[in-house]
Amino acid sequence: MSVRSELLKGILNGCVLAIIEKETVYGYELSAKLQKVGLDDVSEGTIYPVLLRLQKNNWIVGEMRASESGPRRKYYTLTADGEEALELIRSEWGKLAVPVTALLKGEVEHGDH
């Protein structure tokens, strides 16, 4: 398994929620959105399980709508629980990302031998 995949773990939930919060999207288009944001190579085999998970947690709801061209699409919207979860993720990410970045850059003094 790639380094990248490991780092992604647990982050994807928040990314998907953040995108859905801003605009209603359907699954197939999410990989394009994520790519645009800088997260390349997030395939359908990853996206759809994420969406199922979020639905199961009652964080998003899906609604089937017809498309002008092509198959029907399942559009997702954030629930109140989803908003709450996203806020929690934002908070936890903030508490993690800063110290981890500093640690990886070697900017942290953790001496005391």
Residues that bind DNA (CB under 7 A): 1-2, 4-6, 8-13, 26-29, 41-53, 62, 67-75
Q: Which is nearer to its own copies, 10 or 49 (CB)?
A: 10
107 binds, among its own copies, DNA, none (CB under 5 to 8 A by kind): none
Could you please report the per-residue DSSP string of the chain?
--HHHHHHTTHHHHHHHHHHHHS-EEHHHHHHHHHHHT-----HHHHHHHHHHHHHTTSEEEEEE--SSSS-EEEEEE-HHHHHHHHHHHHHHHHHHHHHHHHHHT-------
Q: What's the min distance (Å) between Cβ of 85 and DNA?
A: 10
Q: What minimum distance in Å lies between the beta carbon of 61 and its own copies?
A: 19
Of the ranges 10-18, 41-49, 57-65, 72-80, which one interacts with its own copies (CB under 8 A)? 10-18
Question: Any contact of residue 101 with its own copies (CB under 8 A)?
Answer: yes
Do residues 60 and 78 make contact, with C-beta atoms less than 8 angstroms apart? yes
State yes or no: residue 56 binds its own copies (CB under 8 A): no
